Chains A and B, each alone.
Chain A
Amino acid sequence: MKRQSHPFFDTTDVPDDLCPIAVKPNPMLPGEWRSMKPIVDRAKCVKCAVCWLYCPVQCVVEKRAWFDIDYATCKGCGICAKECPQRAIVMVEEAA
């Protein structure tokens, strides 16, 4: 959303009763509805990048000595925790 190489499609000349399309991103992010949240144990993380590779929404962020999670876009799927070879990621419930 912040970085975008092309402007969104200008629909001015397209009839609005043809094919449904969306040209504006929904402002709601997964962080607002996630039920489980991954927590990285920095002492255990060896920066192998397996979590970074597996994350389906690319929300794993590289830090100096560990990998961390962008909680705005993480939807809490838990794949990173399942795949981490060091067991450095645990899933915890979001506060109600």
Chain B
Amino acid sequence: MTAVLAPPAKQRNTIVCDGNEAAAWAVALARVEMVAVYPITPQSSLVEYLAKFVADGTLDAEIVDAEGEHSVLSVLQGAALAGARTYTATCGPGLAFMFEPYLRQPGLRLPMVMSIVTRDTLTPQSVWGGHQDAMSVREVGWIQMYCETVQEVLDTVIMGYRIAEHRDVMLPVNVCHDGNYLSFGATRVDLPAQSDVDAFLGKPSVNWHAALDPSRPMAVDPLTGGAGGPGPRTFVKYRKGHCAGMQNALSVITEAHADWERHTGRKHSPLVESYRMDNAEAAIVTIGSMSGAGKDAVDEARARGVPIGLVKVKTYRPFPSDAIVGALAGVQAVGVIDRSVSFGWNCGPLYQDVAGALGRAGVQVPSMSFIGGLAGADLTTDHFGRVIERVLKLAKDGRSGPTVWINEND
């Protein structure tokens, strides 16, 4: 069989690279003005690419090699308050060390994009992939999007700026790509034309509301709240504003993906993707790079006539409840596969969210939590085959069971 590529509408610029290099290309194409970095496995090569791009002129930005992640994000908050489009990337222990300014960033309503090259958290000591770091900060108030492919990493980092800088959103965006599997997995990647990215993003406008600017004197983030005077209602006003920005992001993310498709011809599902869900009697829910193996397993099952489908979550924060409920409406059983652990609930965090969304919508459907791919463990089509078997059994007898640890016997 001869593979026929669609004739390119414009000059096609195709490279082979891994997810870390793809993110760095996206930063260059988005014309980021300031990056601050501190290396940490498996993100290190990403910041090395950034340093190289700044050195060779591909990326016209200031780069700060800070002494640690706490300084990295603090430096970028200053840069953003001075009006710059900013970027950094971290993961695992680096994200933990960044936590104090990480908490402050969304409250300042400062747009930026930060890649989390996801890594399982300590302890046990591990340098390999897993979503535990990104999932542990899911309630800080950043937007979180999880990528499935290297191409999606590049496209989503660029789209992240459009979403973050939208006046109805004004929030920082985490673009999460799986450590090892996406960070170091090299594939073919199409680079969009610079003119398309420029038209898609426009000029950055990130400090119109709060600024470090001698011509606009102001104090940023003064003491707010307390029990007296206007304190309580003032604090609530900012919290509600933050929640409103998060909810506004759902439609802004959808619009950005649609517009990206118009500019580049590449389509990614913005919130959730329904894969072979037509007439599905049961569904598995996935997130991140595992979705590829999950789809292959669904294809194999469908080829045998098994009515199974897959729903992939791309946007995890804000949680797309309506889209999830819509995608899962009508199935008899749901199995959710997480690459991280919710210690408080003895299940996966994505499972918690899916069960919560279905429950709040009044949808009664038996569901189960599956946890796998921790600390670099592979999730294969065989694993997904066994998950699908268990979910089909659940659809038949309606009897849910405790959380299944997929790699328990590997």
Contact = CB atoms under 8 A, between A and B. Distances in A.
Nearest to A7: B217
A87 to B, nearest CB: 37
Given A6-B216, A6-B217, A9-B218, A19 B240 contact: no
Given A6-B216, A6-B217, A8-B218, A21 B241 contact: no
Interface stretch (A10-18, A29-37, A51-59, A69-77): A10-18
B221 A6 contact: no
Contact of A9 (B216, B221, B224): B216
Contact of B241 (A5, A8, A9, A18): A18
A65 interface: no
Interface in A26-83: none
Contacts of B170: 18
Contacts of A21: 209-210, 218-222
B195 to A, nearest CB: 31
B208 interface: yes
Contacts of B109: 18-19
A17 B237 contact: yes
Interface string B209-233: 1110011111111101000000000
- What does DSSP make chain B's interface, helix, strand, loop or mixed? loop
A20 to B, nearest CB: 5
Given A20-B224, A22-B219, A15 B214 contact: no
Contacts of B224: 20
Nearest to A4: B217
Which of B210, B211, B220, B222 is most buried by chain A, counting CB atoms within 10 A of its CB?
B210
A23 interface: yes
A5 B170 CA distance: 30
A18 B107 CA distance: 8
Nearest to B215: A6
A19 B104 CA distance: 10
B222 A22 contact: yes
A16 B230 CA distance: 14
A6 B234 CA distance: 27
Interface in B234-278: 234, 237-238, 240-242, 244
Contacts of B75: none
Contact of A23 (B110, B218, B237, B238): B218
A20 B218 contact: no
B209 A19 contact: yes
A17 B218 contact: no
Interface in B183-227: 208-211, 214-222, 224
Contact of B209 (A6, A8, A18): A18
Contacts of A18: 109, 170, 209-210, 238, 241
B248 to A, nearest CB: 12
B331 interface: no
Contact of A19 (B215, B220, B234): B220
Contact of A17 (B221, B222, B240): B240
Nearest to B207: A19
A6 B210 CA distance: 16
A7 B108 CA distance: 23
A96 B216 CA distance: 40
A6 B218 CA distance: 11
Contacts of A4: 217
Contacts of B107: 19
A60 B405 CA distance: 68
Contacts of B214: 5-6
B34 to A, nearest CB: 19
B108 to A, nearest CB: 5
A89 B170 CA distance: 51
A18 B170 CA distance: 8
5 contacts: A6-B216, A9-B218, A16-B237, A20-B234, A23-B218
Interface of B: 107-110, 170, 208-211, 214-222, 224, 234, 237-238, 240-242, 244
5 closest A-B pairs by CB: A17-B241, A22-B219, A19-B210, A9-B216, A22-B222
Given A9-B211, A18-B241, A19-B238, 11 more contacts: A6-B216, A9-B217, A14-B208, A15-B209, A16-B237, A17-B237, A17-B238, A17-B240, A19-B109, A21-B219, A23-B219
